[in-house]
């Protein structure tokens, strides 16, 4: 006997299986060949593609909480979450309502993806990563363990962020009314990279193929194809030619995937 609660309006694709103690709410649509673990909660209206794996204890379509003094969380109507085909969602992941995830995305254990976030195809979100609200993550990105992406940030395609890198959107550090006029996350242009334990301050841009070195504190923009290092980060040298995105041979990979 299966102890899950599945609303009669739910549409399950052929070959889709689910474990015990799941709760799948009204008007959820799940494609063919999906594998849903135990204790999974899928909130109303969620759309899930084919061949998606969702591991134990994960919550999809969670409504946001708003503290009385929250500066960025707003009361709003949010569309249902959408998860593309061939994704893998790990254990104890929380994906909020109003999230749009492309296909062949991996979101590892213990990660959180807030509302109003889009994640492009083939991106990897590592273990314990937090992506706050109003963020856009491109295709083929890799966010490694315990990365923190602050609200109102944009990462373009092929961005790499090493473990424990942190970003911020409030230059006033929670004080004064003036801060509400200036909230701004970080921007990482195509092929930009951020080293382990680096810190990117509000509103800063990492240029295309730019690299912020391990442990650096970025207080000014990183130019295209330059390495910034130190506290505060200063120009160090050019990114080596062999590391540039144009020299990785990935354009051929894209053609094959089409």
CATH number for 92: 2.160.10.10
Q: Which pLDDT belongs to residue 233?
A: 98
Does any domain span residue 209?
Answer: yes
Residue 26: pLDDT band (50, 70, 90) is very high
Domain range enclosing 230: 5-62+79-257
Q: Which pLDDT belongs to residue 210?
A: 98
Does any domain span residue 68?
Answer: no
Does any domain span residue 99?
Answer: yes
Q: In what order do the strands lie in the sheet with 41-42?
A: 5-6, 23-24, 41-42, 59-62, 94-96, 112-113, 130-131, 148-149, 166-167, 199-200, 217-218
Point out the least confidently predicted range of 32-41, 65-74, 143-152: 65-74
At 80-90, the pLDDT tens digits run 999 999 999 99
Does any domain span residue 171?
Answer: yes
Q: How many domains, the chain?
A: 1
To 5 degrees, how large is the angle CA 48–CA 51–CA 54?
Answer: 65
Does any domain span residue 245?
Answer: yes
Does any domain span residue 108?
Answer: yes
Does any domain span residue 73?
Answer: no
At 152-173, the pLDDT tens digits run 999 999 999 999 999 999 988 8
pTM of the model: 0.93
């Amino acid at each position: 006997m299966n102890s899950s609660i599945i609303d009669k309006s739910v549409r399950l694709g052929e070959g889709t299986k689910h474990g015990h103690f799941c709760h799948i709410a009204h008007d959820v649509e799940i494609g063919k060949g999906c594998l849903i673990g135990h204790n999974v909660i899928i909130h109303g209206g969620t759309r899930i593609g084919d061949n998606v794996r969702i591991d134990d204890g994960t919550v999809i379509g969670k409504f946001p909480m708003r503290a009385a003094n929250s500066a960025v969380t707003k009361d709003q109507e949010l569309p249902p979450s959408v998860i593309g085909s061939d994704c893998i969602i790990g254990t104890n992941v929380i994906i909020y309502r109003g999230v749009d995830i492309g296909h062949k995305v991996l979101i590892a254990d213990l990660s959180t993806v807030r509302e109003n976030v889009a994640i492009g195809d083939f991106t990897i979100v590592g273990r314990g990563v937090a992506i706050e609200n109003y963020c856009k993550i491109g295709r083929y990105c890799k966010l490694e363990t315990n990365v923190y992406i602050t609200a109102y940030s944009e990462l373009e395609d092929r961005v790499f962020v090493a473990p424990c890198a942190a970003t911020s959107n409030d230059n006033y550090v929670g004080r004064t009314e003036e801060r509400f006029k200036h909230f701004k996350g970080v921007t990482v242009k195509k092929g930009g990279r951020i080293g382990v334990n680096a810190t990117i301050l509000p509103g800063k841009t990492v240029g295309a193929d730019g690299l912020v070195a391990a442990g650096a504190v970025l207080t000014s923009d990183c130019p295209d194809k330059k390495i910034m290092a130190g506290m505060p980060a200063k120009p160090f040298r050019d990114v080596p030619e062999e590391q540039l995105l144009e020299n990785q041979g990935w354009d051929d990979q894209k053609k094959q995937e089409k």
